[in-house]
Structure 1
Amino acid sequence: MKKIGVLGGGQLGRMMIQSAMNLNIHVKTLDPDPNAPCKAVAHEFVVGSLNDYDTILEFAKDVDIVTIEIENVNTDALLEIQKQGTPVFPKPEHIALIQDKRVQKQFYQENNIPTSPFVLVENKEELVKHKDLLPAVMKIGKGGYDGRGVQVMRTETDFEKGFDGPSVFEKMVDIDKEISIIAARNEKGEINTFPAVEVVYHESNLVDYLLSPATISKEIEDKATEIAIDLVKKLDFIGLLAIEFFVDQEGNVIVNEVAPRTHNSGHQTIEGNITSQFDQHIRAVANLPLGDTARRSPSAMVNVLGEKGYTGVAKYEGVDEVLSISGVYIHLYDKQMTKPERKMGHITIIAETKEQLLEKVDLVKKHFKVIA
């Protein structure tokens, strides 16, 4: 029986463990939070820093494979683990590349992966030299996540809202749709992609809900899939890679960002696809045959976020109403405390038609609330 060490004990790790258990794979998890979502389900749960070199080396001593559920980890430690002979997937150099949006954008440019025009800046004072890019978006190089570390700049007066650190300043795309494709590759070199999903965001840059299939043409989906496969090959990537795309008003498909792990934009695959993203991640890092990613039916995912104005012990409203709807599945993350816009769970939805799907999405959003 293989033993996988997972860096990160959040909800992504929790769902990954549920997939690993079905294959009798033993999972050991490391997280700084003693009450992280993985605690209740991991075979072994270790409390410790994801950025401490020695902690990670000690953690990995008795595992067969190391993987991640969050990219904010010490890659120097992972390089040493890899050097000592324990496989690390995704590879430490890929995690390091993706940790820095500046390096990520340069990789796209150097490898002919379509992305928006950009410049690298060291601080917000440099923005005035690149005002010709306006309207634009400033993204902090390291540390941004879930919409944090991103600032929209429409005029020069917005420059004062910028970041005082190394960042990317990129031209704003005239977006028609935002879509995501998740690709997997194992050590044998097998590659498989999930069908594209359409991503709808809150005004706070957090995902509100997803729709599968995306409302795009076959040509656009084929182009995005081709780019995803090209990117995985050029990286020589092993594991699961989530690729977020912009589709502009002219139908151009542009890579926005990637994540080297299971991703919010793949949650609907649990009920909506033959193989879930979590099953696929385990298959990829363990060098098992990749699963069939075809849709079972149209599906959606609604993010369950803490309601604004509530902080404290979480209470869930609308559970009975939502569970009474056919084809609706609640997935909560065992987080005891809620705060505004904290990810507390997600709800997946399946239906026979896209119209029925959207009706159910509206009902779920109307009834299900996290308060305190």
Structure 2
Amino acid sequence: MNYFSSNFTLGILGGGQLGKMLLYETRKYDIATAVIDPNPEAPSSIACNTFEVGDLMDYDTVIQFGRKVDLLTFEIESVNVDALEQLEKEGKKVFPSSATLKNIQDKGIQKKFYNTHQIPTAPFEVFAHKSELLKAVEEQKWSFPFVWKSTTGGYDGKGVSLIKNQEQLNSLPDVACIAEAMIDFKNELAVIVARNPNGEVVTYPVVEMEFHPEANQVEYVICPARINDNVALKARNIAKKVSESFAHVGLLAVEMFQTKNDEILVNEVAPRPHNSGHYSIEASFTNQFEQHLRAILNLPLGNTESKVAGIMVNLVGDENYQGQVVYKNIEKIMQMPGVIPHIYGKKETRPFRKMGHVTITHKDINEARKVAEKVKNEIKVISQQNE
């Protein structure tokens, strides 16, 4: 099929910043696009050929949208998987597939999938209701502290809590959840895997992630990770095994823990472009968004090697501000060599909302990390009325 400068239309479910950055690549290759998102001011609305407002969890909405396009992908997991399955039955190509998404969308199913396929992960138990978890703690099957995760609906640190005592346990919502053992780790790592329908698979270098202690969001993504070669090879091999087990098509971001004993445990995955791959826009020969496009269109996969060391700094809303966004001191960071800001196009800021990111490139990863710290301390995402 001719994708370029043709009548072919790629449909994207979700119009957030990931969709917007994917659209940069479709523009580069002159591939027509249609996007649907519940927000009429979604970041992707300015860059696609056609834009619709609609509920991604509504069966009929997704069906009707999917029938208008030639191939369907998504930039967020919260989409109606039954609609995707029906579209596939009608002959529509959906990548990643509904089967892949079914195994990932619910974190309880995802965790059980790892056990079934002998993929190392932290000890866990799935509970259908809060009462089951309360009983397990009462019977001393689980003891404090442990990690609580909602099986659905969690993102950007939401739906995840460290439970240290009974009071915190009692305040949890009554939803299906996972209790997960605390892991004594020394690094949080991630590997992005790309796979096309022909079965061609490539992995990106291992990245290291540093998290904000309050928001539980990634603050820095560091590539290459500051780990030894044996650990890096082990992480990439496990990520490849995860990819093969899910038989996904497109990108798969595999988040992992490196334990004190240098074991690798899979935490969770995302079947789409991911925050941990944003550094690749400037630092890699093939950025993650172009790679996703290549993979779902069954084109040859690109070179995943880095041209230069890269660090990504998340720009999130200051915890004390809400309203019309202002990027304070952005001019100062733009004066720094190798510093490239990306603004996502969200008009309203609120505490810890992802509003953009900044990439720092440098031949020396340690120097890049120092610059990243300066960037983080300099730029502030605040609101107009409080400026």
Q: Normalising to structure 1: TM-score of the pair?
A: 0.97
Distance in 2, Cα, partners of 1:87 & 1:195: 29
55-64 or 30-39, larger mean C-alpha shift = 55-64
Distance in 2, Cα, partners of 1:161 & 1:284: 43
Shift of 1:309: 1.3
The answer (yes or no) to whether the contact 2:100–2:247 under 8 Å persists in 1 is no
Which residue of structure 1 lines up, in the alignment, with residue 136 of structure 2? Answer: 129
* Alignment partner of 2:248 out of 231, 237, 258: 237
Distance in 2, Cα, partners of 1:72 & 1:305: 22
Secondary structure at the aligned position of 2:109 is classed as: helix
Which residue of structure 2 lines up, in the alignment, with residue 107 of structure 1? Answer: 113
Distance in 2, Cα, partners of 1:337 & 1:234: 40
Matching of residue 63 in structure 1 with residue 69 in structure 2: yes
* Alignment partner of 1:369 out of 345, 368, 380: 380
Which residue of structure 2 lines up, in the alignment, with residue 160 of structure 1? Answer: 170
State the identity %: 41
Which residue of structure 2 lines up, in the alignment, with residue 11 of structure 1? Answer: 17
Shift of 1:157: 4.8
* Alignment partner of 1:213 out of 210, 221, 224: 224
Matching of residue 120 in structure 1 with residue 126 in structure 2: yes
Aligned pairs, how many? 372
Which residue of structure 2 lines up, in the alignment, with residue 180 of structure 1? Answer: 190
Distance in 2, Cα, partners of 1:62 & 1:149: 34
Shift of 1:133: 4.0
AA at the equivalent of 2:197: E
Shift of 1:161: 3.3
175-184 or 89-98, larger mean C-alpha shift = 89-98
Matching of residue 147 in structure 1 with residue 157 in structure 2: yes
Distance in 2, Cα, partners of 1:237 & 1:355: 35
The answer (yes or no) to whether the contact 1:124–1:164 under 8 Å persists in 2 is yes
The answer (yes or no) to whether the contact 1:102–1:167 under 8 Å persists in 2 is yes
Distance in 2, Cα, partners of 1:10 & 1:224: 29
The answer (yes or no) to whether the contact 1:151–1:161 under 8 Å persists in 2 is no
Matching of residue 93 in structure 1 with residue 104 in structure 2: no
Uncovered stretches (5+) of structure 2, i.e. residues with no partner: 1-5
28-37 or 138-147, larger mean C-alpha shift = 138-147
Secondary structure at the aligned position of 1:314 is classed as: strand
* Alignment partner of 1:330 out of 341, 349, 365: 341
Secondary structure at the aligned position of 1:62 is classed as: coil
Matching of residue 197 in structure 1 with residue 203 in structure 2: no
The answer (yes or no) to whether the contact 1:123–1:163 under 8 Å persists in 2 is no
Distance in 1, Cα, partners of 2:344 & 2:10: 21
Q: CA RMSD in A?
A: 1.2
Distance in 2, Cα, partners of 1:102 & 1:280: 29
Uncovered stretches (5+) of structure 1, i.e. residues with no partner: none
AA at the equivalent of 2:204: F
Shift of 1:123: 2.8
Which residue of structure 2 lines up, in the alignment, with residue 358 of structure 1? Answer: 369
The answer (yes or no) to whether the contact 2:136–2:142 under 8 Å persists in 1 is no
Distance in 1, Cα, partners of 2:283 & 2:83: 37
* Alignment partner of 1:258 out of 243, 266, 269: 269
AA at the equivalent of 1:289: P
Which residue of structure 1 lines up, in the alignment, with residue 285 of structure 2? Answer: 274
AA at the equivalent of 2:212: H
The answer (yes or no) to whether the contact 1:245–1:256 under 8 Å persists in 2 is yes
The answer (yes or no) to whether the contact 1:124–1:159 under 8 Å persists in 2 is no
Secondary structure at the aligned position of 2:197 is classed as: coil
The answer (yes or no) to whether the contact 2:220–2:312 under 8 Å persists in 1 is yes
Secondary structure at the aligned position of 1:355 is classed as: helix
Which residue of structure 1 lines up, in the alignment, with residue 181 of structure 2? Answer: 171
